[in-house]
Amino acid sequence: MSTARNSARSREALLAAATTLFSERGYDRTTIREIGERAGVDPSLIARYFGSKPLLYVEVLRAEHGDDRPDDLLTEPRLREVARRAQRRGPVPLLRVAVEPLSDKAAQEATRAALHDRLVEPLRDRFTREGRDRPGLRADILVAAVSGVLLARHSGAFDELAGAEVDEVVDILLETFDADGSTGTG
């Protein structure tokens, strides 16, 4: 077997293992060692093929969603998907970067780009189409608010928020943001 084919196979095995473990255990509770073990390869290959655990997570997102731009957060199915994923995976880099810089500069830039591509830009485009003033600022504020709420569920600082069902949180967020645009975001 060629080295290139073996490298590609190892990279794909790491990506598949990370996807499974992040989904099953969450980002924080998944270690690089466990990813390597599940993939059947040396965990140090994560640094070689992806750069770091946060960059591997960004690659997992790309693999899961392809190049399609998702719906914006004000669509009920998209907000539910993001909230449920955050509940399963915990405080993932994509949400963390919204409130706190990552220590790894490359991971910071890649995660920030993914945050904008997956969450901010679809909202900015929506607000632009709707003729809202300052669509970029509106998108930033809404994504920051959603990120803060989803991260706060894991912080231990808000008992009711932590104990609420994901769908209940999403319902209140949609009501708060008045997703039909008649008030709140208008």
What are the pLDDT digits (tens) for 26-56?
Answer: 787 889 999 999 999 999 999 999 998 988 9
- 178 token code pair: 């008045």
Per domain, the residue ranges of the chain are 1-49, 69-186
pLDDT at position 184 is 45
pLDDT at position 183 is 39
Domain 1-49, architecture per CATH: Orthogonal Bundle (1.10)
Minimum mean pLDDT range among 58-62, 86-90, 102-106, 177-181: 177-181
pLDDT at position 182 is 44
CA 64 – CA 133 distance, rounded (Å):
33
Torsion of CA 57, 58, 63, 64, to 10 degrees: 70
Is pLDDT of 66 > 80? no
Global pTM reads: 0.77
Tell which wins on pLDDT, 138 or 181.
138
